[in-house]
Amino acid sequence: MQDNKNALAKDIEIFVNEYGNDRSALLPILQSIQKKYSYISSFAQQEVARLLDIHPVEVFGVISFYSFLSSEPKGKYIIRLCKTIICDISGRAEVERAIVKATGTNFGETSKDKIFTLEYTNCLGMCDMGPAMMVNDKVYTKLTPEKVIEILTNLNR
């Protein structure tokens, strides 16, 4: 456990050296931690606050504000499904059922094996190609239940 903390502390120092040690560097540092570790632990929050000389509450405030940052562990694949009215009209409910069935996980949860986290998002900017979802950083559009099954089956687990 201590080795993990040491490695995380070293990574955070690298991110601080890369982005700077003032408040304006907070978001890119947190994004880098999120990308590498899939969440921002309490230890990481404390370390970032210490190195930027800010209060830990400020760090947590940024994490809790942005939906793409998390203080809780997430799955290997974070599936975000657009929940706008346009995607609703385009068949989001059927796509949602297919995702839940294929992953065995409900929206707002992470699978027990830590493979999938299912989340809703307000908009992916693909209203003309809905329903849309994002798996980690990749966007998929014009979804059907069949297309969802194909996408999820082809993920490198």
3-state secondary structure of 134: strand
pTM for the complete prediction? 0.74
Average pLDDT per consecutive 10 residues, the chain (157 residues; last block may be shorter): 80 95 94 91 96 95 88 90 87 94 94 92 83 91 95 84
Q: Which residue has the tokens 């003032």?
A: 22
- Tens of pLDDT along 121-152? 888 888 888 899 999 889 999 999 999 999 99
What distance in Å separates the CA atoms of residue 133 and residue 34, rounded to the nearest whole number?
20
What's the gap between Cα 111 and its chain centre?
A: 14
φ, ψ of residue 147 to 5 degrees: the values are -65, -40
What DSSP line would sit under 103-130, residue for residue? HT--TT-B-TTSSEEEEEES--S-GGG-
With vertex at residue 50, the alpha carbon angle to CA 55 and CA 1, rounded to the nearest 5 degrees, is 115
Set out the domains of the chain in order of their start, with CATH numbers.
2-65 (1.10.10), 77-153 (3.40.30.10)
